[in-house]
Chain A
């Protein structure tokens, strides 16, 4: 409606050109501050970062800075730490997203029923989401610490561990530490998003289904799930990308150790930039990660298109 009104108005516009210019530039003026910030602080560094991937940039070496072509990528293709980080990223992202989603969906379903004290319960179970991520990481690192944390003692009490040890320094299980912390921290996000989607489902559908004698599982699979599907798809897609980039918990809890067993690509980039101060190599890894994520998003979009076309 507005579009047509606008174009009609423009065709018969007899106002002076200055007023017309002011009118046309209005949305741009409103958007300008945000756009300038984004372009200067994100887009320009992104482009510079991509150029770094082809240059030798080391912060402590004043003679670095030269163009070296694809040298970094050649090193990268022979870097076992990178392949390890790639495997760990898959494991970290897959396990975190799956567990967050399952627990988040169950929580959303539980909260969707009206019961006494629901508001308070909702505030309490959503609280982890408000905890700063570095604190969530530290908090869980402390819980896993055999000196002050209870978890090692419980695990050994259950016979799962020979003696109370720190899971975070055990090469075989260390990744579970950040994953558990991530699940704890991320359940509320899934629950909140799915709860909002659940509440948008028309209630009479359920009533009609109950009258027709549909069981709980029938109602769930033929009403709830189809209605939730678009939200689930987009949330899982966005969270997958986000979690694979999310290095905070790992940097705080294990620093990528023991022996790089918890190093994901994002934390590897950070370690290269922050500890090794090798900006060129860090940018090369980042570029590879960016390409991988783009490929992933493209695949998802293609998959979605084919599924939509099939219907």
Chain B
């Protein structure tokens, strides 16, 4: 008993270190967001302020453009997630169930899109979208983000389809259903966890995207949360409490989706890591 105690203590201590390292920055974000302005400097390095306040949140929600940014980001991320998941379930199904001549090339194309620097596309995409009136518009962002996320989502959906036995739709087709009916009525419902995971992944990715949003959007009306927060930081860089309150708010949707997809993380990321 005495021999095996030391490794266990070391193991738990190491885990504790990881938890502290992972959570401390987020804890600090929360701490500063509830610290009253007059205590911000005098109690700079204290772990928790002697008084807490929600004024920063109230200000951010009532008197700033952040609710608009929040709404914009929500619209963009949700639309992107829906568009990508719809496209990716179709193409993932094609890759999982059919063997056809162009399959190799489609996979190669999708892998290629995962390898080259997306920042390369900043200038050409701006040039293309600008005459179409899609710069400074949420639609433009949805189109761009959808394309960026489709390859990964396709591989992800494919791995979920691969996990469903083929006999199911073969049986349905013997009963006279077309392949598409079998796909829609039998296979898709069985892939609901996969669909949820894909929605979550894509939503989080779109919620985090910064560089294209910065390039394509100017002005507050169509700004997404990252753009809004960054402009806010460069303009009013002294209001740390408000910025961090906004930061905590930006964390909420991503955090919620994370909880939702947490179970599928290991499965999903493995599929992604192996294939793209």
Contact = CB atoms under 8 A, between A and B. Distances in A.
Interface of A: 2-3, 6, 24, 26-28, 30-35, 37-38, 40-46, 48-49, 52, 57, 59, 106-107, 110-111, 113, 115, 121-136, 138-140, 142-143, 147-150, 153-154, 184, 187-189, 192-193, 195-197, 199, 231, 234-235, 238, 241, 245, 247-248, 251-252, 266, 269-270, 273-274, 279, 282-283, 286-287, 289-290, 293, 297
Interface of B: 11-12, 14-15, 18-19, 21-23, 25-26, 28-29, 32, 40-41, 44-45, 86-88, 90-91, 93-95, 97-100, 102-103, 106, 109-110, 113-128, 143-144, 146-148, 150-151, 154, 166, 179, 204, 207-208, 210-211, 214-215, 225-226, 229-230, 233, 240, 243-244, 247, 250-251, 254-255, 257-259, 262, 265-267, 269-270, 273-274, 276
B269 A184 contact: no
B258 A142 contact: no
B273 A269 contact: no
Given A34-B87, A34-B88, A125-B19, A133 B210 contact: yes
B224 to A, nearest CB: 10
Contact of A235 (B21, B91, B127, B273): B273
Contacts, number: 267
A31 B147 contact: no
Contacts of B102: 28
A182 to B, nearest CB: 13
Contact of B117 (A127, A197, A266): A266
B234 to A, nearest CB: 9
Nearest to A274: B215
Nearest to B117: A245
B25 A130 contact: no
A115 B11 contact: yes
A231 B147 CA distance: 27
Contacts of B11: 110, 113, 115
A60 B167 CA distance: 60
A289 B120 contact: yes
